[in-house]
Amino acid sequence: MIRSAAISIIKRGLGFRQTQDAAIIAALQQVQRDLEEGKTLPNWLLAFDVAIPVVANVATAALPDRFLRVHEDYPMYYLNGAAHVEIPKRNYDEAYHAYVGDGTVNDKPAPPVAKPAVYVQRNKTTIQFVPTPTTAFTAYLTYYKAAVLLDADVENAWLANAANYLIGLAGMQVAGDLRDAGALQKFTMMTKMGAQSHMSDVVEDELAGRPLVMGRDN
């Protein structure tokens, strides 16, 4: 389903009001952002084995496009021939004390390493490798990737996989702003049905051997 179809469904629920397109688009975008910051995410938002170029003698690297969070069951890795060598995620203090020094005046510089032992997520856009690698290589990361924001008349991952949930929540937001009790009731029912389907996707991921990740696309 593309964005214009979602807008038409919401307008129909609002009694075919013809002047609410901007409000509806804003609601769809806000609901998507809220869902992607939520406690659980479906596995259809996963981007698998995305390449991260690592520069020699540079400790930091940029996280990939539209990064939301890592999937704890898919560690970062690099290739050593055909073998996958994991690069576990650690917090900075743990990484520094384990691989660089203990923070005392007797610290000695750690010996150079070709590849890092671990990485630290500094923020939503940057990671840091510890120790700093002395050779260039490519790391690979599986992560939850935000769906394309509905700035244009396209279908994104939410409209493809959880349309009723997204439309219902956005419709509730617009109906509430308009003080339209009838439309609010209709969109509340749509949201409940969409939420059941959405959560069944999450449960199905668990039963398929892909564990539920607590935390927070194309």
In a domain, 216, yes or no: no
Q: What is the pLDDT of residues 64-120, one digit of tens each?
A: 999 999 988 899 999 999 999 999 999 988 888 888 776 555 666 566 789 999 999
Q: Are residues 36 and 49 in the same domain?
A: no
pLDDT of residue 201: 61
Q: Say how far residue 57 (Cα) sits from the centre of its chain.
A: 29
At residue 19 the predicted structure's pLDDT band, cuts being 50, 70 and 90, is confident
Q: Are residues 103 and 174 in the same domain?
A: no
In a domain, 218, yes or no: no
Q: Are residues 66 and 106 in the same domain?
A: yes
pTM above 0.85, yes or no: no
Q: Are residues 54 and 65 in the same domain?
A: yes
Q: Are residues 52 and 140 in the same domain?
A: yes
How many distinct structural domains can be found in the chain? 2
Q: Are residues 10 and 29 in the same domain?
A: yes
Q: Are residues 193 and 121 in the same domain?
A: no
Distance of alpha carbon 7 from alpha carbon 21, whole angstroms: 7
Q: Tokens 């690297």 belong to which residue?
A: 61
In a domain, 215, yes or no: no
**Closest to 137 in 3D by CA, of 53, 70, 37, 202:** 53
Distance of alpha carbon 134 from alpha carbon 127, whole angstroms: 16
Which one is predicted more confidently, 207 or 50? 50
Residue finishing a domain among 99, 124, 144: 144
In a domain, 214, yes or no: no
pLDDT of residue 197: 75
Q: What residues make up the domain containing 175? A: 3-41+146-207
Q: Are residues 35 and 76 in the same domain?
A: no
Q: Are residues 98 and 59 in the same domain?
A: yes
Between β-strands 67-70 and 126-130, what pairing exists: parallel, antiparallel or unpaired? unpaired
Residue finishing a domain among 122, 144, 166: 144
Quote the mean pLDDT of the chain: 88
Report in angstroms the alpha-carbon separations of 190 from 70, 124, 125, 156: 31, 33, 35, 19
